[in-house]
């Protein structure tokens, strides 16, 4: 079994950046996909005019997320909602967060674990907190032998791509990202990227999933109806190999499982 465990903070965090990798393995009978959401996303901004309230948003976003994976065409084999407070993950005692993630990972013994790196892609404190907790949970498993816990991946945007996207935003008169600001996208140095996935063949499926996150379209895209632009954005996924340290020293890997037995 090749098990991929994805651990994120909010419903929609995994709609970008890893959904293409999942879709590429959709037809593989040996592939197992475990998804962990730390929160229900109940603290998110509600799109103007969308029929939700702060009280109903968490349930709506859970349902959107499940519909999104059906639209991608490869729902998780197991989907765990940890139920921590949206916007408050960095206030949860760290060991409590680690234990909650470990409770899933210990039973699943995943081959590869994917989460946020210390940049949180957007500097979001929830992203940074769940990424750090997942790293710590992974470390508990990585000390064991066997075929599990072979690779830890951090989602990332290469600095060169970040700069290109920001230049395009400036040309389109859209607000540009300032990586020193919280909730703004940031890149990581290109030479830290250890995995580059070509998702062009499944980009339409990834966009089908993104479009199910209807309560969040206004924060996910400047024009959610511009499907072609969304497809270009999701046509690549990039990861930093956080463990083992020398796993991708020679070349970018082209699959999350490449080189693993």
The residues of the shown chain that bind Zn ion, judged by CB under 5 A, are 9-10, 13
Q: Minimum Å distance from CB 40 to Zn ion? A: 12
Cβ closest to Zn ion, residue 10 vs residue 74: 10
Q: Minimum Å distance from CB 45 to Zn ion? A: 12
Residue whose Cβ sits closest to Zn ion: 10
Q: Are 18 and 46 in contact (CB under 8 A)?
A: no
Closest CA to 66 of 94, 41, 98: 41
Q: Minimum Å distance from CB 261 to Zn ion? A: 33
The conformation of residue 29, written as its DSSP 8-state character, comes to T
Cβ closest to Zn ion, residue 126 vs residue 247: 126
Q: What is the C-alpha separation between 116 and 139, in angstroms, rounded?
A: 15
Cβ closest to Zn ion, residue 23 vs residue 130: 130
Q: Minimum Å distance from CB 143 to Zn ion? A: 29
Q: Minimum Å distance from CB 11 to Zn ion? A: 8
Q: Minimum Å distance from CB 120 to Zn ion? A: 8
Buried b / exposed e across 47-84, counting CB within 10 Å, b at 16+? beeeebeeeebbebbbebbbbbbebbebbbeebbbbeb
Cβ closest to Zn ion, residue 13 vs residue 119: 13
**From edge to edge, which strands make up the β-sheet containing 78-84?**
78-84, 31-39, 2-8, 112-116, 151-156, 236-243, 195-198
Q: Are 81 and 37 in contact (CB under 8 A)?
A: yes
Cβ closest to Zn ion, residue 43 vs residue 252: 43
The conformation of residue 158, written as its DSSP 8-state character, comes to B
Cβ closest to Zn ion, residue 43 vs residue 73: 43
């Amino acid at each position: 079994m090749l098990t991929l465990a994805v651990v994120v903070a909010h419903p929609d965090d995994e709609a970008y950046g890893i959904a293409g990798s999942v879709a590429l393995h959709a037809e593989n009978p040996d592939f197992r996909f475990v998804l962990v959401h730390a929160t229900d996303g109940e603290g998110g901004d509600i799109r103007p005019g969308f029929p939700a309230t702060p009280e109903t948003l968490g349930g709506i976003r859970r349902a959107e997320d499940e519909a999104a994976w059906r639209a991608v065409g490869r729902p998780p084999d197991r989907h765990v909602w940890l139920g921590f407070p949206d916007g408050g993950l960095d206030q949860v005692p760290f060991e409590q967060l680690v234990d909650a993630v470990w409770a899933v990972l210990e039973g699943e013994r995943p081959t590869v674990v994917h989460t946020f790196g210390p940049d949180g892609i957007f500097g979001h404190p929830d992203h940074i907190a769940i990424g750090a907790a997942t790293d710590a949970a992974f470390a508990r498993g990585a000390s064991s032998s066997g075929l599990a816990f072979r690779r830890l991946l951090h989602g990332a945007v290469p600095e060169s791509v970040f700069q290109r996207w920001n230049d395009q935003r400036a040309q389109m008169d859209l607000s540009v990202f300032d990586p020193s600001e919280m909730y703004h996208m940031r890149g990581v140095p290109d030479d830290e990227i250890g995995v580059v996935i070509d998702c062009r063949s499944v980009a339409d499926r990834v966009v089908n999933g993104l479009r199910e996150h209807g309560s969040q379209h206004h924060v996910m895209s400047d024009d959610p109806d511009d499907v072609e632009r969304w497809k270009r954005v999701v046509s690549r996924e990039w990861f930093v190999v956080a463990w083992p340290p020398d796993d991708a020293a020679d070349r970018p890997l082209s699959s999350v499982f490449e080189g693993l037995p």
